[in-house]
Structure 1
Amino acid sequence: MAAPRPAETVTALRRPPIRQATTVRSDREHTFDVFVATIGQWWPLQPYSAGKDRVRGVHVEPRVDGRVYERWDDGTEVDWGRLLAWSPPERFVMTWNITPVPTEVELTFTALGPSLTRVAVEHRGWEALSEAQLGEDCARPGGYRGGAFVRGWEEILGAFAAAV
């Protein structure tokens, strides 16, 4: 008989990832394609972009190390991040350079039926930010600490669901 194991201590993450999801009435391939190919049409640029009303397009270079970026009316390009993983139509992972220190965003597309797809986002890597940076305003007031990123991803996924 094995000796009893000591009780394990579970430590809560001090800076847990942000997880949001939505379900859309569309097959997985189409859902992935709409997300990537038309991101500049459905993404709420006000307030979720660097250039706001100057943005003329948002683009995804569909390959590992491809850029995700916005282009302004004067030709300026602002990188949102680089693709770390690219597995259409299942998922992609990118750096998120919009935070004071780069974090990481993973989008997954899970078929729930022939015309039903769950789109989930996990925004992680908050350990890289200082305590002060965690509270800094981003597109919305309050930063990570104040729930701005939670609300932001809810709005972004809501805009996407409406577009599909």
Structure 2
Amino acid sequence: MPPRDVTTLAAPPVHQATTVRADVSRTFDVFVREIGVWWPVEPFSSGGDRVRDVTMERRLGGNVVETWDDGTTHVWGELVAWDPPHGFTMSWLLTPEPTEVELSFRPLGPALTRVAVEHRGWERMTEEQLGGACALPEGYRGGSYVRGWGMILARLVAHAEGGAP
């Protein structure tokens, strides 16, 4: 029997979205200026309970950085597109291979904003990496990034709308 062609399973982008009861400028500002307050560093960081802050250098080429209790910094990625208050794209270094995260902020009304995330670049990884554990069990193939971005966006909504993070 002749060898068969092997087809690699597609690794499409992860998509998640939510709505925030706030105008687009406030929603964008809460995301980028207050990320260290609302971002769930447990479990979505390198340092977990050691993380004392998360900051974004709000400019093209700026870094997104977590700072630990001892002053150590860990770069999550670099802003490769910057269009406030409509969105930004950053490299994402918290995956086994670098990926890319795009956030878009679209006004749906005077006090309502749709926030959408597209996390892409999964085709750079091996099947083992796609199935491996990350911040949540089961990895990309098990839907952990879909669940994770849902949890992150829920924290953004709670903070932007004035609720407890």
Q: Residue 40 of structure 2: SS of its match in structure 1?
A: coil
CA deviation string 1:28-55 (max 9, x = no partner)? 0010000000001000111111111110
Alignment partner of 2:114 out of 99, 118, 124: 118
> 2:18: which partner in 1?
22
Q: For residues 81 and 47 of structure 2, what CA distance do their matches in structure 1 show? A: 26
Q: Residue 44 of structure 1: SS of its match in structure 2?
A: coil
CA deviation string 1:76-122 (max 9, x = no partner)? 10110000000000010000000010000000000000000000000
CA RMSD of aligned residues (A): 0.8
CA deviation string 1:111-153 (max 9, x = no partner)? 0000000000000000011111001100001110011101000
* 1:67 partnered with 2:67: no
Residues 3-152 of structure 1 aligned to structure 2 (within 5 Å): 14-152=10-148
> TM-score of the superposition, structure 1-length normalised?
0.91
Q: Give the length in aligned residue pairs.
A: 152
Q: Which amino acid aligns with 1:61?
A: E
Q: Residue 50 of structure 1: SS of its match in structure 2?
A: coil
Q: For residues 92 and 109 of structure 2, what CA distance do their matches in structure 1 show? A: 31
Q: Which amino acid aligns with 1:147?
A: G
Q: Residue 28 of structure 2: SS of its match in structure 1?
A: helix
> TM-score of the superposition, structure 2-length normalised?
0.91
Q: For residues 131 and 137 of structure 2, what CA distance do their matches in structure 1 show? A: 9
Q: Which amino acid aligns with 2:129?
A: Q
Q: For residues 143 and 69 of structure 1, what CA distance do their matches in structure 2 show? A: 23
Larger radius of gyration: 1
Gaps of at least 5 residues in structure 2 are 1-8, 161-165
What is the percent sequence identity of the aligned residues? Answer: 61
Q: For residues 128 and 61 of structure 1, what CA distance do their matches in structure 2 show? A: 27
